[in-house]
Structure 1
Amino acid sequence: MKRNLVLFGDGLFADIAYEYFTHDSNYQVVAFCVDRPYLQCEQKFGLPVIATDEIAEKFNPAEHSFYAAITYGQLNRVRERFFNQAKKMGYTPASYISSRAFVWRNVELGEHCFIFEDNTVQPFVKLGDNVVLWSGNHIGHHSEIGSHVFIASHAVISGCCHIGDHQFIGVNATLSNNLTIADDCMIGAAALVTRNMTEDGFAKGARSEVSEGARRFFKVVIE
């Protein structure tokens, strides 16, 4: 039998989490919840949307798991707040691992992780609590990812890296081997990181200059 699941949040990530948990897991989503000031609708996908301060009354924590479908605001501290709040209520944290992800047998997973399709997580990797791996990342052997981390699509973390807590790693970022990334760092899209980063570091990614002229380059004639 499927385990009943409450999703904290009702935004785009909650939409995606609903799809994956519903069609590729042993969980059945039964409700969404948000903080009362942000309660704007009564239903989502035919399921009730309930204020956080009422959710435990209507969905017994002893009989339900939860997932906080929140992205990376405040370096994942918003998702961390909901994660801690739901656990204090007595809900059990749920994790999702796509059936189309490659996660080696001895990978150590913390609580409340969400691993999308096409991720490769190699042997001896350790993931902390409340980690999101969006689609198509490579996590190299013997690397350690801390807690409350969000890694966007197609990032490459090479072998033996140590990634601290509260991180955001952007699309197509690349980290070379044996790096240490301290807590509270942001690595931007397409950034190449080849040396250690201290706490509160920001590695800006490559940015292309955008200008007009595509039609001229391709000799497009508009009649």
Structure 2
Amino acid sequence: MRKVVLIGCSGHAYVVAEILNRLGRLLAGYCDLEPRPGNYLGIPFLGHEISEEGLEHLRDNDYFVAIGDNYRRQQVTESLAERGVSVPLSIRHPDAVVSSSVDIGAGSMVGPSSMINPFVRIGDGVICNTGCIVEHECVVGDFAHIAPGAVLAGNVRVGEFSFVGANAVVKEGLNIGANCVIGAGSVIIRNLPDGAKVVGNPGRIL
């Protein structure tokens, strides 16, 4: 089995590395702008992902874009696609509960203790973080992030690049626009337009 190169080597990458370890996948090393001091993973630096050295490693191995920032994750993914690198892995923690009818895009992560229920569609480069719940028939757009403990009730649509903060709750049937930021613990009871920044219970737009 091919080894896996991580792109990024900080907080989110540690979670990704743990999932890969639980899946029995070995790490080849990591790509980043420069070597990371205090590299807790103890894996070698393989160069910048678009350097000649980095691209060689990415073509010889599988890879995962382990960057928490939604926009940066998309930029790196598209940059590699333009250079002919194959699509990134999608990974799910063995403790996650994922319905067999769920569709998960390339480069997405489903974290430990998460629950993804029937007929959910998850786009490319999405983070479904630790312990989140994505209920039936939800649609999560590309490069969105559902943070730890967040809950999407049934038939919720989350636009691309949106962030649903830790322990936030989105009422069933709502549409969350693209590029939204929902603060931790917020309760969303009405649709949100693109670019909305929301906090509180009930959620209010800032």
TM-score by length of structure 2 reads 0.89
Aligned residue pairs total: 197
In terms of fraction of residues, the more helix-rich structure is 1
Equivalence for 2:138:
143
Task: Give the corresponding residue for 1:77.
Answer: 71
Is 1:188 the counterpart of 2:187 in the alignment? no
Q: Structure 1: which amino acid aligns with 2:31?
A: C
Determine if the alignment matches structure 1 residue 48 to structure 2 residue 48. Answer: no
* C-alpha RMSD of the superposition: 1.8
Q: Distance in 1 between the 2:39 and 2:198 partners? A: 40
Name the amino acid aligned to 1:102.
V
Change (3 A) 1:176 1:91: same
For residues 166-201 of structure 1, the C-alpha deviation after alignment (integer angstroms, 9 at most, x for no partner) is 111101101111101111100101111010000110
Give ranges in structure 2 of 5+ residues lacking alignment: 202-206
Q: Report the 3-state secondary structure (helix = DSSP H, G, I; strand = E; otherwise coil) of the residue aligned with 2:68.
A: coil
The answer (yes or no) to whether the contact 1:138–1:155 under 8 Å persists in 2 is yes
SS at match of 1:66: strand
| Greater Cα radius of gyration, structure 1 or 2 | 1
Unaligned 5+ runs, structure 1: 207-223
Sequence identity percentage: 25
> What TM-score results when the alignment is normalised by the length of structure 1?
0.82
Which whole-Å deviations, capped at 9, do the CAs of 1:48-102 have from their partners, x for residues lacking one? 1132112123x250x3111111112xxx101111122233341431111011011
Q: Which of the pair is proportionally richer in strand? A: 1
> Which residues of 2 match residues 32-181 of structure 1 at below 5 A?
32-35=30-33, 38-41=34-37, 45-52=41-48, 53=51, 54-57=53-56, 59=57, 61=59, 63-72=60-69, 76-89=70-83, 90-181=85-176
Task: State how far apart, in whole Å, the 1-side matches of 2:58 and 2:72 are.
Answer: 23
Structure 1: how far apart are the matches of 2:161 and 2:58?
A: 30
Does residue 12 (structure 1) correspond to residue 11 (structure 2)? The answer is: yes
What residue number does 1:215 align with?
none
Is the CA contact 1:181–1:198 (under 8 Å) kept in the aligned structure 2?
yes
